[in-house]
Amino acid sequence: MNLPNKLTIGRLLATPVFMAFVLHDNFYSRVAALLFFIAAGVTDLVDGYLARKHNLVTPLGVFLDPLADKLIITGAFIAFVEVRELHVPAWMVVAIVGREFLITGLRGVAATHGSVLAADDGGKFKTSVQNTAIITILLAMISRSALAHFAGVSVDDLAARGAWAAAVGRTLEFIPFWMMFGATLASVHTGVRYLVRHAHLLRENP
Domain residues for the domain of 130 are 3-202
Residue 88 pLDDT grade (very low, low, confident, very high; cuts 50, 70, 90): very high
Burial call 108-140: b when 16+ CB within 10 Å, e when fewer = eeeeeeeeebeeeebbeebbebbbebbbbbbbb
Answer whether 130's CB lies under 8 Å from 179's CB. Answer: no
Residue 17 pLDDT level (bands cut at 50, 70, 90): very high
Q: How far apart are CA 117 and CA 95, in angstroms?
A: 21
* Domain count within the chain: 1
Q: What is the pLDDT of residue 160?
A: 63
Name the residue with higher pLDDT: 85 or 169.
85
pLDDT for 181 equals 97
Mean pLDDT check: name the lowest of 9-13, 90-94, 113-117, 198-202: 113-117
Return the pLDDT at 159.
64
- How buried is 201 (Cβ within 10 angstroms: 0-12 exposed, 13-18 middle, 19+ buried)? middle
- Quick check: 76 pLDDT over 90? yes
Which residue, 67, 107, 128, is CA-closest to 197? Answer: 107
pLDDT category, 188, cuts 50, 70, 90?
very high
Tell me how far apart the alpha carbons of residues 206 and 37 are, in angstroms, rounded to a whole number.
41
Identify the CATH number of the domain in which residue 138 sits: 1.20.120
User: Count H helices, E strands: the chain?
Assistant: 7, 0
State whether the Cα torsion 144-31-134-102 is positive or negative.
negative
Q: Tell me the average pLDDT of the chain.
A: 88
**CA 101 distance to own-chain centroid:** 15
Query: pTM here?
Result: 0.90
- For residue 79, what pLDDT is reported? 96
Helix axes 59-82 and 121-146, enclosed angle (nearest 10): 40
| Per-residue pLDDT tens over the stretch 116-126 | 777 778 888 99
Condensed to tens digits (0 to 9), the pLDDT of residues 154-173 reads 776 676 676 777 787 788 88
